[in-house]
Amino acid sequence: MSADVDHYLDNDEKTVVIVMTSGPSTPQRCATPFYLGAIMASMDVEVHVFFTMEGVRLMQRGVAESFAAMEDGKKIIDFIRDAKRAGVTLHVCQPALPGYKIDEDNDLIEEVDHVSRASVLADLVLRSDNVITF
């Protein structure tokens, strides 16, 4: 490996929002946001994942435990827990829940930090340094 490769981290603290619209119908899209969120959070980035559209189903009890992004791969719930341990904050879009018949009081996994309105997403996007969508 060349000597000029920089192995050291010295980024300033930043805020990143990951807007997660993918869900169980596209499993191959459901691990990377958490993996990326975990690595950014461990680099001192403030990371918020906002689940909306089909993404809210990943926060529904029993769903993320039931599938993986690739055959015989790690379950999505384990990627979610890795991201949480690294410090990622998880928001679920409240207006999207009725469309999937999800009860915010009874059906969400314990890893959810906030059930948030669209205005919260707007605030997060406007104050963040970067927004990524999946």
Partner 1 sequence: MECNGCEFHSELYYDSEYQIWLRREHDDSLTVGMTDISQTIAGKILHVRVRRPGTIREPGKPVATIESGKWAGPIPNFIHCVILEGNIEVLENPVLLNSDPYNAWIARVEASAGVDAALEAFLTGDEAHEGYCRRARDEDIHCQRKVR
Could you list the residues that contact partner 1 (CB under 8 A)?
1, 5, 7-10, 35-36, 38-39, 41-44, 73-74, 82, 85-86
Report the nearest approach of partner 1 to the CB of residue 7 (Å): 4
Q: How far is CA 28 from CA 43, 73, 104, 114, 121, in A?
A: 25, 10, 26, 25, 24
Report the nearest approach of partner 1 to the CB of residue 103 (Å): 32
Residue 34 vs 52, nearer CB to partner 1: 34
Report the nearest approach of partner 1 to the CB of residue 5 (Å): 8
One-letter amino acid identity for 134?
F
Residue 18 vs 108, nearer CB to partner 1: 18
Are 29 and 134 within 8 A, CB to CB? yes
d(CA 75, CA 100) in angstroms, rounded, equals 21
